[in-house]
Amino acid sequence: MRYLTIGRDGAAEIEEKRSRFLCTLARVEDEAEARAVVEGLRKQHWDARHNCSAFRIGPPPQPVERSNDDGEPAGTAGAPMLEVLRGAGVSDTVAVVTRWFGGTLLGAGGLVRAYSDAVRAALGEVGTLRRELVREYRIEVPYDAAGRLETDLRSAGVTVLDTAYGTAVTLRIGAPPEDENRLESLLAELTAGASSLVPGTDRWVDR
């Protein structure tokens, strides 16, 4: 299982009829963290008229999604921002668009466009990366075979997370859970059945 998130925290600003729209994007792990980012920016930009927000958290098919218009006409800010995040396929992300009013009313269509464009601009700045669910495995191997096995595993596209040296060498690898049978067959082939996989926990990693 995999999905996208932002490559880094960042921001971008656009201007529409003298109103400034600053979109800040931040990586978050849960709803409380997302709300803390929104509140922090509200305090930082106390002089702005609106701090509208949207966030998506968690893997598909049902990430947690929330949006807030923060005083703009209903449906003209938070919802369009959320739609841009959905369209980009990013999750674990909060977007806050801070607006400094420029004196000219934009109308509903103008607001939707401006808030959407601000989020798109920020996404263009920060880029994306892939999050993938991997299962960790341990493999114990004699010292004289460790280097060759690690090289062979990497050549086969297996991610080697760590190498630890004790009475034997322990390789820690990560792979999607559905690849377990393939890994067992590969390891049996590479070690002539002398080593086996010891499954560990599943976790999300960035690629």
> In CATH, what number is assigned to the domain containing residue 194?
3.30.70.240
With H, G, I as helix, E, B as strand and everything else as coil, classify residue 1.
coil
Q: Is the pLDDT of residue 194 over 90?
A: no
Reported confidence tier of residue 205, pLDDT bands at 50, 70, 90:
confident
Identify the pLDDT of residue 84.
Answer: 98
Among 69, 103, 126, residue at a domain's last position: 126
Number of domains in the chain: 2
Reported confidence tier of residue 28, pLDDT bands at 50, 70, 90:
very high
Does residue 100 share a domain with residue 187? Answer: no
Identify the pLDDT of residue 62.
Answer: 92
Identify the pLDDT of residue 203.
Answer: 87
For the chain, what is the mean pLDDT? 94
Paired sense of beta strands 64-68 and 159-165, if any: unpaired
Among 91, 126, 161, residue at a domain's last position: 126
Does residue 41 share a domain with residue 15? Answer: yes
Identify the pLDDT of residue 1.
Answer: 81
Among 99, 126, 153, residue at a domain's last position: 126
In angstroms, what CA-CA distances link 113 with 83, 102, 106, 176? 12, 16, 10, 39
Identify the pLDDT of residue 14.
Answer: 97
Q: What is the pLDDT of residues 91-146, one digit of tens each?
A: 999 999 999 999 999 999 999 999 999 999 999 999 999 999 989 999 999 998 88
Does residue 199 share a domain with residue 104? Answer: no
Does residue 118 share a domain with residue 24? Answer: yes
Q: How is 55-119 classified by DSSP, letter by letter?
A: EEES-TT--EEEEE-TTSSTTSSHHHHHHHHHHHTB-SEEEEEEEE--SS--HHHHHHHHHHHHH
Q: Is the pLDDT of residue 206 over 90?
A: no
Identify the pLDDT of residue 56.
Answer: 98
Identify the pLDDT of residue 53.
Answer: 98
Tokens of 96: 């806050």
Does residue 114 share a domain with residue 139? Answer: no
Domain that holds residue 184: 133-206
Reported confidence tier of residue 24, pLDDT bands at 50, 70, 90:
very high
Does residue 13 share a domain with residue 87? Answer: yes
Rounded mean pLDDT, 67-92: 97
Identify the pLDDT of residue 121.
Answer: 98
Reported confidence tier of residue 37, pLDDT bands at 50, 70, 90:
very high
